[in-house]
Each structure stands twice: as C-alpha cells, then as structure tokens.
Structure 1
C-alpha cells in the first residue's frame, strides 16, 4: 500500500501513511478487547493460560497504539498544521495507551502472581469502557478526525484501488499480531512454569 496504491487527488503521496496508521489504530482496539476477554476468562474461571494471553497482549497492543499515535501526528502536521490537538479521538486513543502501560505496570508492581493476575484483570475489564468512546468519538463529538471510511454501512468512501491495499495491510498486521502473540504466550507460559517438574525434565531432555 505504501508503494503500489495510487496517490490521493488532494493529499498526493502524503496520504500513504494511512496504510500504517489505520491498521495500527484498528489493532490497538482489537488487541485490547482480546486482552480484556482473556483477562475476564482468567478472572472468572481461574484459567492461568488466559492470564498469560492477556499479559502477552499488553505490550503488543501498546506498540500498536503508540504507532497509531505517532503516524497520526506525522500526518496531522502538514494537514492540520500541528502535531497534536486535544481531539476526542486522539485523546481517547492516548488514554488507551495509558491503560496498556497501567496494566503492565500493575502486573510488574505486584510480586504475587495470582494477585497480579486478578488486579490487572480488573483494570483491563474496566478499561473496556474506553473502546466504544474511541470508536464512536467522531460521531458523538465535533472532532477534527475524519469519520470511518471502511466500517460504516453502505459504500466505502475510499477508492477501490486504495481500499484493496488498505485491507491487505490490515490482514498483514493481523497476521503479525497472531505470530507475535503466540511467541509471547509461549514465553509467558514458560516463565510461569519455572520450577515445575515438567519444565525441568523438558530442559534436561534437550
């Protein structure tokens, strides 16, 4: 999308940053919802693997959120004339980044693993309230941020040749997230299982 999509008739090549911005912004919400669901499953049914998934999601989601904010600021400078405005969409996305940081900081601050799981799960679940605020902020308030282009009902407001590459980039980001998540979950499970017999035996056998 950064190279193959046609230039925009108004923004020219400057619009190409959306092929990174839109997927990263979408994944920032998607990852948080997955993190909160995993945390809720772990909290209710006390499934340790669910807590491991939630813990693995946090740094990935924070990275996507930071990337969305950074690319948005880069785009905003030439288009809006400023790097940042306290727009409803931008501010709520920044709150999402703080929620990710808060989740990770809370886990790191509590030595007992079970208590850390429960406390961080509660924070993740409470933070879900911010997701619809981010999603619908452009409809609820008068904001500078443009409304949805591919998720609204009816025909997308983006040209098909541009839309195809945006969807390709979005699929690529999702695949990247899945691959990194599996790697991080595996590492999280190994850390949680340190000292257990099966892990010691597996290490000795290798």
Structure 2
C-alpha cells in the first residue's frame, strides 16, 4: 500500500511543469557552484600537479577533457532515451521536454569528445582519425543526436515530434554497449577504459583522482545546462498557463 501511495505522488510531481520549474530553480545554484569548483579545481590539478605519463608525456593531459566528455555523451543519450520512453508510456510532458533539452547538449559533448580524441590521437597514433570501432560508434552517436534534433525541428506537432524522437532514441540505445565494449569485441587501436569505478584503476592514483573530479564536474555542468534548457522549454510550452503569465508579469 505504501508503494501505491508513494509512486503516484512522485510521478504526479515529476509530471507537473510548474513543480519541475520550481525545483530546478532551487537546484541550479547548487549545481552551478559545484560545477565551477570541480572544473576549475580539477583543471588546475590535472595541468599543474598530476605527473606526466611515462610514455605519452604531457600530451596525455587531454584525457581530462576527452574521457569525461566521452562518458557524459553516452550518459546524456541514455537519459534522453529514458525520458523519451517515459513520455511514450506515461504521456508526461516534462519527460518529453527533458528529452528535447538533452539532444543539443549531448551533440555538443559528443563533438567535444570526438575533437579531443582526434587531438589525442595525432601524437599517439600518428593520425587525426582512424576508422576504429570506438571512434566510429562515437561518430554514430553524434549522428543519432543530430537525427533527434532534426526530427524535433522538422515536425511541427510537439507530441508527434516527441514520439518520433523517442522511438529513434530508443532504437539508438543499441549503440551504447557497442561504444563501451568495442575495444573488447574487436581488435582496435583505442585503449581500454581509462576510467572505471568498479575496478582498480590502471593509472596512478595521483592521475586518476583529478580525472574523477573532472568527471563529476562535467556531470554537474551538464545538470546546469540541462536545467536551464528545460526551464526555457517549460516557459515556452506553458506560456498560456496562468502561473507562467504571473511569473512573467511579476
């Protein structure tokens, strides 16, 4: 009985654009301060105090941007797909808004991951790009993001656009395990996972800790940007609601 009481309340709160707008307004300053501290501190730690790699020298330091962006690009896609599924099943407008807000952020982060990977690959492999399984699947991830953005722009009906993009995002989920396990399934140039929380890190702790700080900082930054885009989407879609008119007039 307790679960039946709790679940509807949780879902109803999440489904309320007004409640979502209010709670994100309270969370924004917290995540913004956390992102600023973690990213500035992590960058200084990575560039100044972390030792150089014994093989790659200082060129390895691009890892502190590349790895967090690559991880976040995949997490953002999964969040977009889950939000799309919730919108399809429970018809929650806020879930559709979250999915739409995630797409351009994820595409930007995927571009950053690919660009920093190319910068890292040039001194390591001697080439800016190779059709490596990990790189190719990351490129496909970017195309999936762009496909979601294109569908949102091409379809005038918000409900129809949300349904179409949700289906595309869910189908594209098959690419996430391919990205993760590509280095294990195929013989690739890309090195195995650098960052993991389930196993002992292969790199020295003084290199791994600033990487952990940067990963958390990237997630906090993503939360800030996503909430800003979500709040803007809520205002745009709910502009005819009385509470939005009161907010704007106030």
Range class of TM-score, shorter chain: over 0.9
Q: Which runs of structure 2 are paired with 1:20-31 in the superposition (5 Å)?
A: 20-31=65-76
Q: Greater relative contact order (Cα 8 A, min sep 6): structure 1 or 2? A: 2
Deviations 1:118-158 (A, max 9, x none): 11111111110100000000000000000113327542111
Which residue pairs with 2:41 in the alignment?
none
Equivalent position of 2:162 in the other structure: 117
- Find the counterpart in structure 2 of residue 135 from structure 1: 180
| CA distance, structure 2, for counterparts of residue 52 and residue 16 of structure 1 | 36
User: Are 1:174 and 2:227 an aligned pair?
Assistant: no
* Number of residue pairs matched by the alignment: 205
Matched, 1:68 2:113: yes
Give me the TM-score of the superposition, normalised by structure 1. 0.96
Kindly report the root-mean-square deviation, in angstroms, between the aligned alpha carbons of the 2 structures.
1.2
Deviation string for 1:17-73 (max 9, x for gaps)? 000000000000010001100010001100000000111111111111100000000
- 1:188 and 2:233 aligned: yes
Please give the alpha-carbon distance, in whole angstroms, between the structure 2 residues aligned to 1:25 and 1:4.
23
Give per-residue Cα distances to partners, 1:61-86, cap 9 Å, x unaligned: 11111000000000111111110000
In 2: Cα distance, 1:100 partner to 1:129 partner: 14
CA deviation digits over 1:80-127, x for unaligned, max 9?
A: 111000000000000000000000100100001111111111111111
Question: Aligned to 1:194, what secondary structure does the other structure show?
Answer: coil
For residue 3 of structure 1, give the secondary structure of its aligned residue in structure 2. helix
Q: C-alpha distance in 2, partners of 1:119/1:154?
A: 38
Is 1:19 the equivalent of 2:64? yes
1:6 corresponding residue in structure 2: 51
- Unpaired runs of at least 5, structure 1: none
User: Closer, same or farther in 2 for the Cα pair 1:152/1:195, shift >3 Å?
Assistant: closer
Q: TM-score, normalised by structure 2?
A: 0.79
Partner of 1:42: 87
8 Å contact kept, 1:107–1:116:
yes
Q: CA offset at residue 196 of structure 1?
A: 3.0
Return the match for 1:105 from 147, 150, 159.
150
**Would you say the 8 A contact 1:2–1:19 is kept in 2?**
no
What's the CA shift for 1:200?
2.1
